[in-house]
Amino acid sequence: MNTNARDEQPLSRTGVLISARGLRKSYGKTEALRGASLDLHEGEILAVTGTSGSGKSTLLHCLAGIVRPDEGVVDYGGEQLDRSSEARLGELRRRDFGVVFQFGQLIPELTALDNVALPLLLAGTRRGPARQKAGEWLERFGVRGQADLRPGEMSGGQSQRVALARALVTAPRVAFADEPTGALDSLAGEQVMTALVHTAREAGTAVLLITHDAQIAAYSDREVWLRDGAVHSGAADVLAREAARREG
């Protein structure tokens, strides 16, 4: 894609799509989240930044219904996800949510085309139409020529574009992107982010972007900072608090 995603105009925010309040999550004695709260608006691209181990991925997993918080509430359109059944959460991840991980997590035995078609097949689309639509999405992300290749035969940037196509092929309301450029060089990372933002803008898809890279966060409409398991309005807010504590 040749569109410069940095120049694209953000969609005007409407209602809150996902609201999280007071999320706490521990793994053994390690507290990953300590009362984190966050709102994601319809059509918004929101970056959650922070250092490694700050709880960013745990927050995403709670919001996407992948893991349940120990405490707190995750509301999606009036539905409390932290109390939803596993069957319901699975349905939402097939229909309303798309997830992209740092290393793509494509199925190694499937071609790029079949990886992208898989969510459609799981949603009940017939094989022929699913593969046709998958091909169209590979085209949109500039990897139609890799349709018959398996993940091990593609570059990291190509694999991530395929993973993005797979996450967005069902036209989800929310795309969760967990360090989608973390394993890529700067050029491939820019290309992946341009493709993600451009496609999300076209579809009106909200994006929750997890990153530790300020250049990647710059693609977002809004940025929050996760530190000590809690969400702050931005890195500047955290730095100001730390400076105040040192002066005190």
DSSP codes, the chain: ----GGGSPPPPP-SEEEEEEEEEEEETTEEEEEEEEEEEETT-EEEEE--TTSSHHHHHHHHTTSS--SEEEEEETTEEGGGS-HHHHHHHHHHTEEEE-TT----TTS-HHHHHHHHHHHTT--HHHHHHHHHHHHHHTT-GGGTT--GGGS-HHHHHHHHHHHHHTT--SEEEEESTTTTS-HHHHHHHHHHHHHHHHHHT-EEEEE-S-HHHHTTSSEEEEEETTEEES-HHHHHHHHHHHHH-
pLDDT in tens, 56-103: 999 999 999 999 999 999 999 899 998 999 999 988 988 899 998 877
Query: Can you give the pLDDT at residue 14?
Result: 56
Q: Is residue 4 part of a domain?
A: no
Query: pTM (2 decimals)?
Result: 0.84
- Work out the average pLDDT over 127-131: 97
pLDDT of 140 over the 90 cut: no
- Work out the average pLDDT over 175-202: 88
Q: Are residues 56 and 46 in the same domain?
A: yes
Confidence of residue 243 (pLDDT cuts 50, 70, 90): very low
pLDDT of 241 over the 50 cut: no
Q: Are residues 177 and 164 in the same domain?
A: no
Q: Are residues 154 and 222 in the same domain?
A: no
Q: Are residues 90 and 126 in the same domain?
A: no
Q: Is residue 6 part of a domain?
A: no
**Last residue within a domain, chosen from 171, 194, 210:** 171
Domain membership of residue 69 as a residue range:
14-96+173-248
Q: Are residues 43 and 155 in the same domain?
A: no
Confidence of residue 230 (pLDDT cuts 50, 70, 90): very high
Q: Are residues 46 and 62 in the same domain?
A: yes
Q: Are residues 167 and 181 in the same domain?
A: no
- When divided into structural domains, the chain yields a total of 2
**Last residue within a domain, chosen from 137, 155, 171:** 171
Query: Can you give the pLDDT at residue 233?
Result: 77
Selected residue with higher pLDDT from 247 and 170? 170
Confidence of residue 53 (pLDDT cuts 50, 70, 90): confident
**Last residue within a domain, chosen from 131, 150, 171:** 171
Q: Is residue 5 part of a domain?
A: no
CATH label of the domain that carries residue 187: 3.40.50.300
Q: Ranked by mean pLDDT, which of 16-25, 156-165, 209-218 comes out on top? A: 16-25
Q: Are residues 222 and 245 in the same domain?
A: yes
Q: Are residues 212 and 240 in the same domain?
A: yes
Query: Can you give the pLDDT at residue 234?
Result: 54
Q: Is residue 192 part of a domain?
A: yes
Q: Are residues 127 and 182 in the same domain?
A: no
Q: Is residue 179 part of a domain?
A: yes
Q: What is the mean pLDDT of the chain?
A: 87
